[in-house]
């Protein structure tokens, strides 16, 4: 049996987990905390270090007790060099040598992988994609990342950017995702859904028809996907309409992936898991 530490760095939240690997992986403990991305890279790095220290102290571990640290983070990144390049949902994380920093700090080997690719590997080996030779995993979280398994291999591409499906432009205009108006990420990520709702709410107010759940600029400015989902689940017509739009764009993106990759299965995480009932009807009309 081997002991490992996992670190997930997300645009909204981070987590440090302790796992035991034998026949499978057993999660022993977890420490989660908000990323606070607006405060920049240095504070997030220190909070990650503190969480790893805390985890090792909780379980009386020293470096030689831990086989390795695995890090998942949104791209773009270079997994071979262990460098986070410039993720749009992590301001200030530019050319960060996260693997070298962790190896120096904790004196144990560390490895970096794009979060969507890491999820794709886990789902393929142990989860919803088990038994598939060809599958796609979509994060659908703060951003919209993708991990592609084709012919029993993870697709990385020439520069480790393979699977960045969120960059696909599915409309000429629309919410921005990674600098692209109308991109798959712009319409279907947590950040993109919030921006879509904010845009439609402001347009409605200009036309004298304020949204019931965002009646003024102050409410619009802090509007997020969680608030929108709660309103839709409570039957708010405007919120339901926004999720209908998102569902259609999700279906359009999925249709492109299906036509190009011909996967046996597509696994979608995060927002889709929590809001499937709001998204699936419109999604299926497009597929």
Q: What is the pLDDT along the chain (287 residues), one digit of tens a residue?
A: 899 999 999 888 999 999 998 877 899 999 999 999 888 899 999 999 999 999 999 999 999 999 999 999 988 899 999 999 988 889 899 999 999 999 999 999 999 999 999 999 999 998 999 999 999 999 999 889 999 999 999 999 888 888 889 989 998 877 776 667 789 999 999 999 999 999 998 888 888 887 777 777 888 888 899 999 999 999 999 999 999 999 999 999 999 999 999 999 999 999 999 999 999 999 999 99
Cα–Cα dist 26/173, whole Å = 45
Cα–Cα dist 109/93, whole Å = 21
What per-residue confidence (pLDDT) applies to 178?
Answer: 62
Domains in the chain: boundaries: 2-108, 130-286
Cα–Cα dist 116/267, whole Å = 11
2-108 CATH, one of 3.30.360.10, 3.30.420.40, 3.60.140.10, 3.40.50.300: 3.30.420.40
End-to-end alpha carbon distance in the chain: 44
The two three-digit tokens of residue 243, written as one number: 């999720």
Cα–Cα dist 199/206, whole Å = 11
The two three-digit tokens of residue 76, written as one number: 């773009």
- CA–CA distance from 134 to each of 150, 163, 283 (Å)? 4, 13, 22
Instruction: Answer whether 27's CB lies under 8 Å from 132's CB.
Output: no
In a 10 Å sphere around its CB, with 0-12 CB exposed, 13-18 middle and 19+ buried, how is residue 235 labelled? exposed
Whose tokens are 């209908």? That residue is 244
Largest interatomic CA distance in the chain: 65
What per-residue confidence (pLDDT) applies to 111?
Answer: 98
- CA–CA distance from 164 to each of 115, 167, 175, 186, 222 (Å)? 11, 6, 17, 13, 28
pTM of the complete model: 0.86
Backbone dihedral angles phi then psi of residue 113, each to the nearest 5 degrees:
-145, 145
Cα–Cα dist 220/197, whole Å = 8
Q: Find, among 26, 19, 5, the residue nearest to 110 by Cα.
A: 5
Same fold, 2-108 and 130-286: yes
What per-residue confidence (pLDDT) applies to 273?
Answer: 96
- CATH number for the domain formed by residue range(s) 130-286: 3.30.420.40
Instruction: Answer whether 170's CB lies under 8 Å from 248's CB.
Output: no
What's the CA angle centered on 59, arms 53 and 65, to 5 degrees?
80
């Amino acid at each position: 049996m081997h002991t490992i530490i996992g670190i997930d760095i997300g645009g909204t939240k981070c987590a440090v987990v302790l796992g035991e690997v034998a026949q499978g992986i057993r999660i022993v403990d977890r420490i989660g905390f908000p990323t606070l991305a607006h405060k920049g890279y240095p504070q997030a790095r220190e909070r990650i270090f503190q969480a790893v220290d805390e985890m090792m102290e909780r379980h009386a571990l020293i470096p030689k007790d831990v086989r390795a640290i695995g890090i998942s983070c949104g791209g773009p990144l270079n997994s071979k060099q262990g460098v986070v390049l410039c993720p749009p949902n992590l301001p200030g994380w530019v050319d960060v040598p996260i693997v070298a920093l962790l190896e120096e700090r904790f004196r144990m080997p560390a490895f970096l992988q794009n979060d969507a690719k890491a999820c794709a590997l886990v789902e393929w080996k142990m989860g919803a994609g088990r038994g598939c030779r060809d599958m796609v995993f979509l994060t659908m979280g703060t951003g919209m990342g993708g991990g592609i398994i084709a012919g029993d291999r993870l697709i990385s591409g020439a520069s480790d950017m393979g699977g960045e499906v969120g960059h696909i432009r599915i409309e000429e205009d629309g919410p921005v995702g990674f600098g692209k108006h109308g991109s798959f990420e712009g319409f279907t990520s947590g950040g993109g859904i919030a921006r879509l709702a904010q845009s439609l709410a402001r347009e409605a107010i200009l036309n004298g028809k304020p949204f019931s759940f965002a009646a003024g600029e102050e409410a619009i400015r802090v509007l997020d996907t969680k608030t929108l989902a709660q309103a839709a689940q409570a039957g708010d017509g405007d919120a339901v309409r926004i999720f209908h739009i998102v569902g259609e764009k999700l279906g359009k993106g999925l249709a492109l992936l299906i036509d190009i990759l011909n996967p046996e299965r597509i696994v979608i995480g995060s927002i889709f898991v929590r809001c499937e009932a709001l998204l699936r009807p419109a999604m299926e009309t497009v597929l």
